[in-house]
Amino acid sequence: MNIKPIKTEADYYKALERLELIFDSAIDSKEGDEAEILSLLIDNYENKHYPIEAPDPIEAIKIRMEEMNIKQKDLVGIIG
């Protein structure tokens, strides 16, 4: 196990490739430990470089309504 911090995009893709190879390893194995550490490093890198902002609550409701094919009039009996 040769784990280093993920500092560049190239490091990030190498870590993703390695994680893909060892993802299904047994939890108590050397590879399982490596997968757990890599997933934490990858998560940290993604949070820094690809942050996902929380959606506006109203927009989130509208998107969900569209996904479920619900119109405003359908909610009158529930919300009023």
Q: What is the mean pLDDT of the chain?
A: 92
* Amino acid symbol at 56: D
Tell me how long the chain is.
Answer: 80
Token duo for residue 20: 């893909």
pLDDT greater at residue 39 or residue 3? 39
* CA 11-14-18 angle, 5° bins: 140
- What are the residue boundaries of the structural domains of the chain, listed by start? 9-79
Confidence category of residue 24, pLDDT binned at 50, 70, 90: very high
How high is the pLDDT of residue 2? 81
| Residue 22 CB neighbours (<10 A) | 17
